[in-house]
Structure 1
């Protein structure tokens, strides 16, 4: 990996410099500004990560935008480049950043009904890996931007589009490289829109909800090692054995969390969610808000809702990998477990999290933090958020936008290090749930053509400056 190397010698990268990156078909003639056609073409690029191999896909997007008159440049490893493109605005507002990744997770071992990279459209749905996460989402952005260029619509402020590699395996070759080595490209940006991080609420059957991700939990992966004297397994293990230490730890974290910690964004989310839902369902959310430590308050709600809500009111810990033992007849002298920790946003330090985890492992265990996510600043729910809400209400008056905290992490954690308020915004016609988010990383990932059209229209309204946050 040659992180930091630019893929072109000059400040812009125009089509025609390298025929090996050009598509066989005329770019704009092939897709126009149709979100479905753009998404279909993107899905057909095999960008499974690892290894990634995003270059051909990103070069195609580069050509698409350059033919529309955008300034473009490629940055980073030529085999895994990142595209930064800019559409000049009228100078009335600060630049707005759109960011998206083109790498996708593997399909190996998944029982796909249709070829995952064929991009078939069947019964009004586009099938394929990345249809939701997040090539379909990127297609919505691109469709709106190309439509603006075609109709000479100049946005209030510059629009910067960052299309990156490597999001699915840590972002080292992608967003992290851009933030670390090219921060000047994002100077003056106040707001950014990216993927929504999978904020599945499971309440779409009760109300038309439009979740807008305003904050993310932070990754803290920890390796916990328990050690003790081994011995012959024909005799009962002692109380301090590594297995006994492990048993105590697993019992201590069996609930999945480290205890209730309410944050401002969670308070607002639960309050708005309770008011948006029918009274009988909203009352349960309100009861949970009042006493999140009482599991009975969520009785009767969908399991996906219960799991989500329990995850956003505490630091969570999931034991995912276990290693140990040398033989069936030998008590293990060492057992190691890997814990996927997710820390609430705000002023929670890594040391605070490890201290709470240490209280569950016991003093004998060794704790090694081997992945630590970036701390995101507290969200600003100001005019940037209001415009997203106004756009959603304009296109779906019966829907209710709701600010949410996502349990996952995206490239927003990196762009936020530049002082940018990042939102996860995937406008969907069904109001957010709609069966799309539970297809992320799963077999038979797909998205409806109606959803792509709806999202593209929402992006066009927002980016062209036509959303009025004071209209509703």
Structure 2
């Protein structure tokens, strides 16, 4: 497969989509070799392919800068989630360009972002126009399965590659959200922290031919129902408050007052209940969340089980610890069930809303004068949590100017696609940041 005639991000994305990097198993090698070849052909960059003990490769490219700034990290993953069981209008690994849209798995999450970052750097190499400081581009494996063979491996085994880096840019932000006639660009400055729990319920077993009430299965149903009916308590974090206030300030009445009412804990939940689908933007940044994902009970159809377990996916707001989170969950499920922590994510420091954040906002306003940048709390997790262990402050900043009525609903779903013009917009934004970043 030869290199495209230009570093157009749309053309590069089409090539990347055609590598099936569904994780598992990943098979990121050919995709990363293709990217390495582009940088090798351009010249002027140091390229390394580093393979995890599990045999998963990662590409690290260092592009020398002008020496006017410390090094900057750009990081993105090339593995994608499965398309199994989904009905696509166009082949998910075809990379089709149709009516100005690039279709395929990874168009949004996140081969599109990798294409923008790579295109911005390749364009500078081709033009002999170095960035302000060195740029370290990491094209990673395994993010969709936790990053063990990707970002985590690099941080634990090759930390020296990131010496001197204070800031990083990656996925999770600067994609248009259209609300109340305005275009908002949320920039991710913080992430929620995962806390996975296992709840065990016990009760009398017996033969299923007998009448049986109030046992393990009944308690299981009560627990699931309670989790479905009740939210955890409201907590107002600085980043969530900034997001709500930023949107409210640019919104007309009565929407402005309604949004600001979200910041009154006594009214938050009632306001959310009246917001309909729009509540989905705000609910998970104002509460911890807890969702049952795996239920186990019984082994034979004619035996009433004496034990049931429920695995719960919890996401904690910044600044909270598992013990505090469990106490809030206990208030819903009661004291009887056994609760254990089966996994929790690392603490992640909120990125500073300082000079770099101001630059990211300024670039968006230059490219779209009516843009309204706001800080964002990411409700999921990205590879930034691994790089944070090295003291790197990360921002979700892969700008995409999307049309009204289209957002992130095709991420991990059928018919994932992105406008080619949005990729150009994001590449231009990243290139401007690379020129003006000063640490």
Task: Please point out which of 461, 468, 472 is paired with 2:432.
Answer: 461
Change (3 A) 1:180 1:434: farther
Q: Distance in 2 between matches of 1:270 and 1:130?
A: 29
| Pairwise CA distance, 1:61 | 0.7
Change (3 A) 1:236 1:284: farther
Task: Please point out which of 349, 352, 358 is paired with 1:386.
Answer: 358
Change (3 A) 1:430 1:88: same
Moved more, 249-258 or 104-113: 249-258
Q: Distance in 2 between matches of 1:370 and 1:293?
A: 34
Q: Distance in 1 between matches of 2:230 and 2:160?
A: 41
- Name the residue aligned to 1:226: 201
- Name the residue aligned to 2:336: 364
Deviations 1:206-257 (A, max 9, x none): 3111111111111112221111111244555454x22243234224322464
- TM, length-normalised to structure 1: 0.87
| Pairwise CA distance, 1:400 | 0.5
Change (3 A) 1:413 1:242: same
Are residue 208 (structure 1) and residue 183 (structure 2) matched? yes
Change (3 A) 1:468 1:208: farther
| Pairwise CA distance, 1:328 | 4.6
Q: Distance in 2 between matches of 1:202 and 1:86?
A: 33
- Name the residue aligned to 2:324: 352
Deviations 1:372-429 (A, max 9, x none): 2111013311111111101100000011011111111000111111111111112122
Q: Distance in 2 between matches of 1:153 and 1:385?
A: 24
Change (3 A) 1:192 1:255: farther
| Pairwise CA distance, 1:285 | 0.8
Moved more, 74-83 or 160-169: 74-83
Q: Distance in 1 between matches of 2:257 and 2:38?
A: 49
Are residue 253 (structure 1) and residue 222 (structure 2) matched? no
Q: Distance in 2 between matches of 1:418 and 1:430?
A: 33
Task: Please point out which of 403, 410, 416 is paired with 1:439.
Answer: 410
- Name the residue aligned to 1:164: 140
Change (3 A) 1:56 1:201: closer
| Pairwise CA distance, 1:155 | 1.7
Whether the 8 Å contact between 2:191 and 2:377 is mirrored in structure 1 is yes
Whether the 8 Å contact between 2:76 and 2:170 is mirrored in structure 1 is yes
Whether the 8 Å contact between 2:177 and 2:185 is mirrored in structure 1 is no
Deviations 1:117-158 (A, max 9, x none): 010111110000001100111111111111111122122211
Deviations 1:331-363 (A, max 9, x none): 3211111111011112x1122223332343334
Deviations 1:405-454 (A, max 9, x none): 111100011111111111111212238x7523111001000001111111
Q: Distance in 2 between matches of 1:46 and 1:290?
A: 47
> Which runs of structure 2 are paired with 1:125-164 in the superposition (5 Å)?
125-164=101-140
Change (3 A) 1:412 1:434: farther
Whether the 8 Å contact between 1:196 and 1:213 is mirrored in structure 2 is yes
Q: Distance in 2 between matches of 1:31 and 1:104?
A: 26
Q: Distance in 2 between matches of 1:389 and 1:248?
A: 47
- Name the residue aligned to 2:311: 338
Gaps of 5+ in 1: 1-23
> Which runs of structure 2 are paired with 1:269-418 in the superposition (5 Å)?
269-291=243-265, 293-298=267-272, 301-303=275-277, 305-346=278-319, 348-418=320-390
Whether the 8 Å contact between 1:228 and 1:334 is mirrored in structure 2 is yes
Task: Please point out which of 62, 65, 84 is paired with 1:86.
Answer: 62
Whether the 8 Å contact between 1:292 and 1:313 is mirrored in structure 2 is no
Q: Distance in 2 between matches of 1:66 and 1:292?
A: 58
Q: Distance in 2 between matches of 1:200 and 1:191?
A: 20
